[in-house]
């Protein structure tokens, strides 16, 4: 015969299970699990979207982008990549910076029209982070972009939590005034993804001229995902990147480019 104490243990176990399940659901909601699972911004490129959780960039999250080098060319590509992502969101875009050197017509070429952008010039990076945080908390913006050199774990966590609460995507463009600041990019942050953009030779044309720009797009870090790199064509007028046609068909020239990129 089973002892009363044993019967009590069994009944208690059955009663606790649904409570634990409910608590887990509540915790997931508080952590933004539903937002990350349901709301994403796909690139429309299966090879890239397949490497990202839920098939796209998480909305309601912070993402980092940096140039592959310290030069102005890779820096410009980084800004264009961020603009292309922001262009495919809905609503105004808040762009925070400490240096007023952004070229608005170039952003328009990748789909981000000047009428959608609200420019904020901050006195220093501390003020810039405050502007980004307020923008992410607002909830009525399509995206919040900030150009900064340093991003601590504490600051990135504040931005990430603000993005989760509002559902707005945040993009931190890492820009450095000197090479010594670049080492900060390797430090851990709360960002959902971390990208690096490097300029490659443009797409070849059958006639003399300059073809569509190409980038080496590196996914350095992805929460709940794996690192990867892609050779892509720069965004079109609607902010959409694409794989070069010769890479899709696996030409010998494409294989040579892959070898140079990996080197």
Q: How confident is the model at residue 178 (pLDDT cuts 50, 70, 90)?
A: low
- CATH number of the domain within which 244 lies: 3.40.50.300
Q: Is there a domain that residue 228 lies in?
A: yes
46 in any annotated domain: no
The pLDDT of residue 88 is 97
Based on the structure, what is the number of domains in the chain? 1
Q: Is residue 14 part of a domain?
A: no
Residue 50: band (very low, low, confident or very high) from pLDDT cuts 50, 70, 90: very high
- 19 in a structural domain: no
Q: What is the mean pLDDT of residues 150-178?
A: 93
Range among 83-92, 176-185, 206-215 with highest mean pLDDT value = 83-92
Does any domain span residue 192?
yes
Over the stretch 102-127, which tens digit does the pLDDT of each residue have?
A: 999 999 999 999 999 999 999 999 99
CA atoms within 13 A of residue 155's CA, in its CB half-sphere: 17
Tens of pLDDT, residue by residue over 236-259, are 999 999 999 866 544 444 455 445
Q: How confident is the model at residue 17 (pLDDT cuts 50, 70, 90)?
A: low
| CB-based contacts of 189, cutoff 8 Å, min separation 6 | 62, 64, 151, 152, 153, 156
Is this prediction's pTM over 0.85?
no
Q: Is residue 95 part of a domain?
A: yes
Instruction: Report the percent of the chain where pLDDT is more than 90.
Output: 62
Do the domain assignments include residue 3? no
CA 228 to chain centre: 14
CB 131 within 8 A of CB 96: yes
Boundaries of domain holding 250:
56-199+206-262
Q: Looking at the DSSP assignment, which residues form a beta bridge with residue 222?
A: 193
pLDDT attached to residue 193: 97
Compute how many other C-beta atoms are within 10 angstroms of the C-beta atom of residue 205.
10
What's the CA gap between 140 and 166, in Å, rounded? 8
User: Which residue is it, tokens 């069994």?
Assistant: 10
Residue 23 in domain: no
* Over residues 224-228, mean pLDDT: 90
């Amino acid at each position: 015969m089973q002892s009363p104490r044993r019967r009590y243990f069994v009944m208690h176990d059955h009663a606790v299970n649904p409570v634990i399940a409910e608590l887990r659901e509540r915790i997931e909601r508080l952590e933004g699990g539903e937002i990350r699972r349901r709301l994403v911004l796909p690139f429309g490129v299966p090879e890239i979207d397949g490497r990202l959780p839920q098939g796209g960039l998480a909305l309601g999250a912070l993402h980092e982008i940096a140039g592959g080098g310290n030069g102005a060319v890779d820096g410009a590509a980084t800004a264009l990549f961020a603009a292309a992502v922001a262009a495919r969101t809905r609503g105004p875009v808040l762009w925070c910076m400490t240096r007023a050197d952004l070229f608005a017509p170039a952003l328009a070429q990748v789909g981000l029209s000047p009428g959608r952008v609200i420019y904020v010039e901050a006195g220093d990076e501390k003020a810039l982070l405050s502007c980004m945080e307020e923008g992410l908390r607002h909830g009525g913006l399509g995206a919040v972009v900030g150009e900064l050199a340093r991003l601590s774990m504490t600051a990135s966590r504040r931005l990430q939590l603000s993005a989760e609460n509002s559902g707005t995507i945040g993009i931190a463009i890492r820009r450095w005034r000197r090479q010594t600041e670049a080492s900060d990019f390797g430090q851990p942050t709360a960002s959902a993804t971390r990208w690096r953009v490097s300029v490659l030779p443009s797409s070849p044309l059958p006639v003399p001229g300059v073809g569509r720009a190409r980038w080496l797009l590196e996914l350095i870090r992805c929460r709940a995902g794996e690192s990867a790199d892609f050779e892509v064509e720069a965004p079109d007028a609607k902010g959409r990147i694409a794989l070069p046609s010769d890479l899709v068909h696996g030409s010998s020239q494409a294989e040579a480019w892959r070898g140079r990129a990996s080197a």
